[in-house]
């Protein structure tokens, strides 16, 4: 069974099982092996790890250094892989949430949603279903203001008008509209 040992408490890798013992726990010998009886009543063989190098040695062999660097590389790779995987999963979850919210907004209020998304007020939208929206640009008709006729200009009544982009003053002609 795989797990992690922290002082005298062992926790399984899936964190569903834990064992604890101390220095006063009873020890039995079975088949030539020393077994420690845990506080939960299980017999475990505690392995003693011996360091591979002696302390206070100033020289490191190339094999030792290569092994240590390989261990650091493996630990770094596994931890960074988990961080990257979790970050990518969070991005995907947020994107899916945004997509669902956008589809709901488009089906409930397509014109308001499209105007907000595009930043334009001259759009009329219709939700067609299946994630499709039909958008139409509406243009305002030119506004004309009739003015008081002057007797010497023209037979047509004078008018002022235009759109937000242009304005015109002159006789009102139905042929030019």
Residue 114 lies in a domain: yes
Residue 45 lies in a domain: yes
Q: Quick one: pLDDT at residue 62?
A: 82
Q: Quick one: pLDDT at residue 177?
A: 47
Q: Quick one: pLDDT at residue 175?
A: 41
Can you point out the beta strands (E) in 17-174? 18-20, 27-30, 33-37, 43-44, 123-129, 132-137, 143-146, 158-162, 167-171
Q: Quick one: pLDDT at residue 33?
A: 83
The whole domain housing 10 covers: 1-49
Q: Quick one: pLDDT at residue 146?
A: 57
Q: Quick one: pLDDT at residue 65?
A: 84
Domain identity same for 144 and 128: no
Q: Quick one: pLDDT at residue 99?
A: 92
Domain identity same for 65 and 134: yes
Domain identity same for 145 and 174: yes
Domain identity same for 134 and 74: yes
Residue 55 lies in a domain: no
User: Whole-structure pTM over 0.85, yes or no?
Assistant: no
Tell me which residues of the chain have a pLDDT lower than 70.
51, 53-60, 140-177
């Amino acid at each position: 069974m795989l797990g992690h040992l922290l002082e005298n408490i062992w926790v399984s890798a899936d964190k569903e099982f834990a064992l604890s013992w101390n220095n006063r726990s009873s020890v039995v010998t079975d088949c030539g092996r020393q077994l420690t009886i845990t506080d939960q009543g299980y017999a475990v063989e505690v392995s003693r790890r011996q360091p591979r190098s002696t302390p206070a040695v100033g020289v490191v062999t190339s094999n030792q250094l290569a092994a240590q660097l390989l261990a650091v590389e493996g630990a770094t790779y596994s931890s960074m892989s988990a961080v990257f995987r979790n970050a990518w999963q969070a991005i995907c979850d947020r994107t899916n949430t945004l997509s669902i919210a956008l589809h709901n907004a488009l089906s409930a209020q397509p014109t308001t949603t499209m105007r907000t998304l595009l930043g334009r007020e001259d759009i009329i939208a219709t939700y067609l279903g299946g994630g499709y929206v039909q958008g139409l640009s509406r243009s305002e008709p030119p506004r004309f203001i009739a003015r008081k006729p002057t007797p010497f200009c023209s037979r047509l009544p004078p008018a002022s008008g235009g759109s937000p982009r242009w304005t015109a003053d002159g006789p009102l002609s139905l042929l030019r509209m």
